[in-house]
Structure 1
């Protein structure tokens, strides 16, 4: 199955199995606000026909859902997409490509897409504080691959950088990642 089909299947399953309602119930049943209380666990808007042609399968995503939140990953509505120039620690552009911000990772990091090729990057502007070589925490060939493997898949734990460079395994208590495992979107130990 290709990433476009997998993305559509997974979004359909989240809707049909009541993922939004289940995670809202878990949130309400929690004894205290967990450290991840600053983001919406999951929201999936109705799909809409995009107003323009987008590269990298972004239009296919918008036809499925006009905006969505998957754990700490928020994909913005089409009217909120804006140009963004990713820079390195010296403030220099990391490359000469035309990047657009299609979403947010938590409250500090950006989900960027190359406006020509459709490549997707999680951009961590403060990468140098962590001793990383690059502000690109992860990349995917396009939006469907990102949604399938990262937002609703096993690479979700990479949204905060390389797994082997993270201080603690935050995903072990993250409600979204735990739900992905329970629902079979991620296999134990992946």
Structure 2
């Protein structure tokens, strides 16, 4: 016997549709979109099958459908003194969730610590929460 369906609450939709973890904001799945990675000259550097699945402020959270890698890509990397747009890379969604979203690598989502004048992560509420839980 099938159970009658219940309307999905706003709280459940918020958790599943557009979750946010500090500066990491994930899109609802229907808003995942194709993403071509480019260098500072506007040339495509990776013709792979990639989707933007969220944002970390002005940076994109990208999923490579061929390799299952998840990474943060900064299209303005040259303005931030980085050698590449790849700010942070994980081999899988599970690794990204456990080590970045809910783990110690969260403090690297905006690039290497040495590129920052101050330790922004030490005042970030999400990072402080992760530390309180001993996740970071």
TM more than 0.5: yes
**1:107-126 matches, cutoff 5 A:** 108-126=58-76
Distance of aligned partners of 1:142 and 1:44 in 2 relative to their CA distance in 1, 3 Å threshold: farther
Output the CA distance in 2 between the equivalents of 1:156 and 1:131.
20
Aligned to 1:176: 126
Counterpart among 80, 90, 98 of residue 140 in structure 1:
90
8 A contact 2:37–2:47 mirrored in 1: no
Counterpart among 29, 38, 41 of residue 78 in structure 1:
29
Distance of aligned partners of 1:76 and 1:133 in 2 relative to their CA distance in 1, 3 Å threshold: same
1:96 pairs with 2:43? no
Output the CA distance in 2 between the equivalents of 1:92 and 1:44.
36
Structure 2 unaligned regions, length at least 5: 1-12
**CA deviation after TM superposition for structure 1 residue 164, in Å:** 2.1
Counterpart among 99, 111, 116 of residue 166 in structure 1:
116
Per the normalisation by structure 2, the TM-score is: 0.85
**1:53-68 matches, cutoff 5 A:** 65-68=16-19
Structure 1 unaligned regions, length at least 5: 1-42, 46-64
Query: For 2:37, what is the secondary structure of its paired residue?
Result: coil
**CA deviation after TM superposition for structure 1 residue 44, in Å:** 5.8
**Higher strand proportion, which one?**
2
Root-mean-square deviation (CA), in Å? 1.5
After the TM superposition, which parts of structure 1 deviate over 4 Å for at least 4 consecutive aligned residues?
A: none
**1:7-46 matches, cutoff 5 A:** 45=15
Aligned to 2:8: none
Higher relative contact order (CA 8 A, sep 6+): 1
